[in-house]
């Protein structure tokens, strides 16, 4: 694919395919929106679906780091509850996925920076943003300028998972050190041809494009309800997030250092993609009295996955209120920028 066509593809100027298959949710029968004023204040089907050019993987400490790219993208950064739009720019949308191969798990919240070199000379260097997209799920990404066709090296610095994220089970003691990886990649017509763009007739309707098959890489999806340990007591929706809530006791709770544990596995309504880096409060009321009121801890666990948890014992008849006080602090690709920002509190009866 010639470079000019490649750069135009993600903006919708070039349509390589057509169709609307591979959509999850229940699209409405409304016409394709003409502008942003017609888009729903919800998760919606993005304008296009594309493939990517996979460039390679490298081992780095406990992680495997993968690097790939697509055509440059518009995306939205998040600061608190505010969005800021980043326009398409540069030559590629570079993406990195950091995962733990033994447990086939994407590791959020590592932080990541990336610099691109060519022949030992620096081409560009940026902090690469944690992101959420319908095709890739959770990843790190940014638009990067290059120096034309040629061979490059992506030098990736993976930060430590912060102490504010608890690591439990077999993850305890891991992921606390920064590590580096180098992945060579090419930008040329052969690699650009791997990036195909399909315009979607369902653009703007409620729903989402199905995630891509990642090959040797895991997708950042939350475990299905019936695979979660403990007892699931509810899975309410709030602003496009499904808050699957489970309670553990006895041996199941012991690795969290308690006899009873409350966990909320937050994922997107469609496709069940993990939603990290939120602040979530929980209040338990029993017979009209508050018996717990606190902030759940961001936690990564081999069985529960990434979740929000606390040492909380609930009883039959208790009322549990969940309130997201800070939305996911991750940038969003198209389709997510109008949701996952303004969460209404939800209440469950145990």
The verdict on residue 204 lying in a domain is yes
CB within 8 Å of 201: residues ≥ 6 apart: 18, 19, 20, 32
% of the chain at pLDDT higher than 90: 86
Same domain, 15 and 101: yes
Structure tokens at 96: 């990195």
pLDDT of residue 21: 44
Same domain, 32 and 108: yes
Alpha-carbon distance of 187 to 197, in angstroms, equals 18
- CATH number for position 309: 2.60.40.2480
The verdict on residue 148 lying in a domain is yes
Residue-range definition of the domain harbouring residue 90? 3-209
Alpha-carbon distance of 341 to 329, in angstroms, equals 10
Q: Check pLDDT > 90 for residue 215.
A: no
Total domain count for the chain?
2
Please give the C-alpha separations between residue 152 and each of 116, 136, 337, in angstroms, as whole numbers: 7, 23, 32
pLDDT in tens, 106-117: 999 999 999 999
pLDDT in tens, 75-87: 999 999 999 999 9
Region class of 335: left (phi > 0), else alpha (psi between -120 and 50), else beta:
left
Alpha-carbon distance of 296 to 262, in angstroms, equals 9
Q: Check pLDDT > 70 for residue 120.
A: yes
Q: Check pLDDT > 80 for residue 122.
A: yes
Same domain, 156 and 15: yes
For every residue of 59-108, DSSP letters joined together read EETTEEEEEEEES---EEEEETTEEEEE---SSEEEEEEEEEGGGTEE--
The answer to whether the beta carbons of residues 23 and 200 sit under 8 Å apart is yes
The verdict on residue 214 lying in a domain is no
């Amino acid at each position: 694919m010639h470079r000019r066509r490649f750069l135009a593809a993600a903006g919708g100027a070039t349509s390589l395919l057509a169709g609307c298959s591979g959509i999850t949710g229940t699209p409405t029968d409304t016409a394709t929106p003409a502008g942003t004023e017609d888009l729903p204040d919800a998760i919606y089907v993005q304008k296009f679906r594309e493939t990517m050019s996979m460039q390679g993987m490298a081992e780095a400490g406990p992680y495997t780091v993968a690097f790939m790219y697509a055509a440059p993208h518009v995306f939205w950064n998040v600061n608190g509850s505010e969005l800021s739009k980043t326009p398409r720019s540069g030559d590629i949308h570079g993406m990195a996925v950091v995962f733990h191969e033994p447990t086939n798990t994407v590791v959020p919240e590592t932080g990541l920076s990336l610099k691109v070199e060519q022949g030992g000379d620096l081409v560009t260097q940026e902090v690469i943003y944690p992101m959420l997209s319908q095709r890739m799920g959770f990843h790190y990404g940014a638009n990067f300028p290059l120096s034309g066709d040629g061979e490059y090296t992506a030098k990736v610095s993976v930060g430590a998972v912060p102490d504010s994220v608890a690591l439990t089970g077999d993850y305890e003691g891991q992921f606390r050190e920064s590590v580096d990886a180098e992945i060579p990649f090419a930008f040329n017509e052969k690699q650009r041809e791997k990036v195909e763009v399909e315009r979607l007739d369902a653009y703007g309707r409620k729903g989402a494009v199905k995630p891509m098959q990642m090959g040797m890489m895991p997708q950042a999806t939350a475990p299905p309800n019936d695979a979660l340990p403990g007892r699931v007591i509810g899975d309410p929706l709030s602003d496009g997030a499904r808050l699957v809530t489970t309670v553990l006791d006895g041996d199941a709770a012991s690795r969290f250092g308690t006899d009873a544990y409350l966990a909320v596995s937050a994922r997107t309504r469609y496709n069940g993609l993990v939603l990290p880096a939120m602040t979530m409060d929980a209040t338990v009321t029993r017979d009209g009295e508050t018996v717990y009121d606190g902030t759940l801890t961001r936690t990564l666990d081999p069985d529960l996955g990434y979740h929000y948890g606390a040492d909380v014992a609930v009883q039959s008849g208790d009322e549990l209120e969940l309130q997201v006080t800070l939305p996911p602090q991750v940038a969003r690709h198209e389709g997510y920028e109008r949701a996952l920002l303004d969460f209404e509190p939800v209440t469950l009866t145990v």
